[in-house]
Structure 1
Amino acid sequence: MMLVGCGTTQIKAWSKPGADQAQKQRDLAECDYDASKATTGDGKAPKTTGDAVGDGVVRGMEKSDLIKKCMRVRGYSG
């Protein structure tokens, strides 16, 4: 079995006028942290392996969307 696209690392090239690489990394790290907190599971154990995988995929997608929104609110495009 091969899982593709399960990572939530943002490879996207975010850009913002006047923001250097260090600022971009700080903003992305803060957005990632906030999105991680917002998508933490409810603490209940999944009933099956399929449920666990499905829950992980959904949380990963939600986290990715939250990171994108956070970066855009901070003035980035990408």
Structure 2
Amino acid sequence: MIAYLAELGKLHFTKEEMEQMASEMTSIIEIMDTVKEIDIQYDAYADNKNVYLNDLREDIKEDSFPTEKILQNAVNDENCFVVPKVVE
């Protein structure tokens, strides 16, 4: 798994560095497992005490751009944009 992640990140490690990295990743995962055990309860009032609903702007419906105008420079004509793949 470490070799796969290193390849994705275009990183080059020696065998000793890979073993050290595996040890460090194991330590990090153990810490994450202990954090998962913490009991956290969500309190909507306490967590959002700085949000004031009276200060929000009024939601006004407006016309949107016509689809034809938005897609006039698009390569694909099937009502969508084609973007390059960025994740494996």
> TM-score interval w.r.t. the shorter chain?
0.3 to 0.5
Instruction: Normalising by structure 1, report the TM-score.
Output: 0.36
Instruction: Normalising by structure 2, report the TM-score.
Output: 0.32
Larger % of helix: which? 1
**Max radius of gyration: which structure?**
2
